[in-house]
Structure 1
């Protein structure tokens, strides 16, 4: 059985870009590596080269995502301010995704670095579960720990403004939303 040859440079990056554009979910570096017959490290380099060409690719905890929407209708976006303990993170995310909201990122203000932002990109309970498990397995602190008050921001989006409003009301009821 003959081993498939790796896909070379520009052709590989074109294939990566096409794959990401066609995917409706994040694609891991391992999957892209298997597709192009190169290592994950080569994929990371290719992704950086594509980003340098202003391709809207986001690295998430679930893989790479092409963020330029091909949808005709754009989601409504908003930034919200929240406060809770690390142990309440899963509850907060469940409240949001249960209202049809995508949690795009988390942002905190660091005393040295200023604004620190990290992609979350969760839209349903399964994605929340995976996110929480990854945090626990890595024994990584939540970004909200960088601010001793626990205050953090989320960029959120949903197809309809009513979904954002209802999610905010639920967060307010839970005592998580700061207005």
Structure 2
């Protein structure tokens, strides 16, 4: 593609899908916009259209990710109820990823909006650090700040025992919400 040439409509959306599918890591809206020679807002609209076609694209703090679930390998999932201060977020995430757990999302129960869920998709210390850094750089708030630190995570692992170990580690750290 010649520099400065704008890629239009459906061709651009197909390229976005190809780039996301072949990338080993999430791609930011800015990066996709640069590759396509369009604005980031055009990319946001394209992603919305692709999601409406049931393409498994997830927006994470690191960028967009094509999440085609691997068919042969089964992952186990569990929701864990946690509570901690904002400054403990990176420690909480590191505890989980160090055990080989994928932190898929964070959920809260908001008094007005009901259940609010945000994608996290963190599976290693680098991604955990990037997630926290992005929150700090943008002066965004953690969802859990709306509920005095109370939140749920959907966690996933290849073995149920790993999820048990993750829960035990959260409890030991004082991050597991007790009954």
| Superposition TM-score, scaled by structure 1 size | 0.91
The CA deviation at 1:62 is: 0.7
Deviation at 1:129, TM superposition (A): 0.9
State yes or no: 1:166 paired with 2:172: no
**Are residue 135 (structure 1) and residue 138 (structure 2) matched?**
no
Distance, in Å, in 1 between the alignment partners of 2:3 and 2:85 is 51
Deviation of 1:71 after TM superposition, in Å, equals 5.2
Report the CA distance shift for 1:11/1:137 in structure 2 as closer, same or farther (over 3 A).
same
Q: Which residue number corresponds to residue 95 of structure 1?
A: 95
When structure 1 is superposed on structure 2, of 106-115 and 73-82 the one drifting more is 73-82
Partner of residue 144, structure 1: 144
Instruction: Tell me the alpha carbon deviations over residues 55-102 of structure 1, each in whole angstroms, 9 at most, x when there is no partner.
Output: 111111111011222453132111111111222111111100110111
Once the two structures are TM-superposed, the CA of residue 178 in structure 1 deviates from its matched residue by: 2.7
Report what 2:23 is aligned to: 23
Aligned length: 177
SS in 2 for 1:15: helix
Q: What runs of 5+ residues in structure 1 fail to find an aligned partner?
A: none
The normalised TM-score by structure 2 is: 0.91
- Give the whole-Å Cα distance in 2 for the aligned partners of 1:162 and 1:26: 28
Give 2:38's aligned residue: 38
Looking at structure 2, the residues matched to 178 and 47 of structure 1 have their Cα atoms a distance apart, in angstroms, of 35
Moved over 4 A (4+): none
Q: CA RMSD in A?
A: 1.6
SS in 2 for 1:5: coil
Helix, strand or coil at the partner of 1:81:
strand
Match of residue 47 from structure 2 = 47
Distance (whole Å) between structure 1 residues aligned to residue 18 and residue 70 of structure 2: 13
The secondary structure found in structure 2 opposite 1:65 is strand
Gap runs ≥5 in structure 2? none
Deviates more, 1:98-107 or 1:30-39: 30-39
